[in-house]
Amino acid sequence: MHELFPQHDAAVSDWLGKQGWTVTRRNYNDREIFGWRAEGVRPNITMRITRSVMEDYSPEQLTSILDAYKTGQRLAKAPDKYTVLKRSDAGPPELVQLDAPPQ
């Protein structure tokens, strides 16, 4: 569990479990992007969330946002995409799927 965001970590892990994935690895990168990796069940996926979103939203709000964006379906359809929930310029966070990590 992440020491700064243990409730968020648990909520995202539980949410991924409800989608049929078990978190096998966590990556806190440079602590600006947090990642949850699920391997062993196809497709392997990684869900990423920026620190700013973790700071601005409660665990319950976060999982509601993931549901609203149909994130589980999007991860399953494009497991190789770099998927990240990040702050938008205005309004709620946005879920983006890129071919490669941003530079």
Contacts 24+ apart (CB under 8 A), 27-31: 28/2, 31/4
d(CA 68, CA 24): 24
Q: pLDDT, tens digit, for every residue of 59-76?
A: 999 999 999 999 999 999
Give the predicted TM-score (pTM) of the model.
Answer: 0.90
Q: pLDDT, tens digit, for every residue of 9-53?
A: 999 999 999 999 999 888 766 678 899 999 877 778 999 999 999
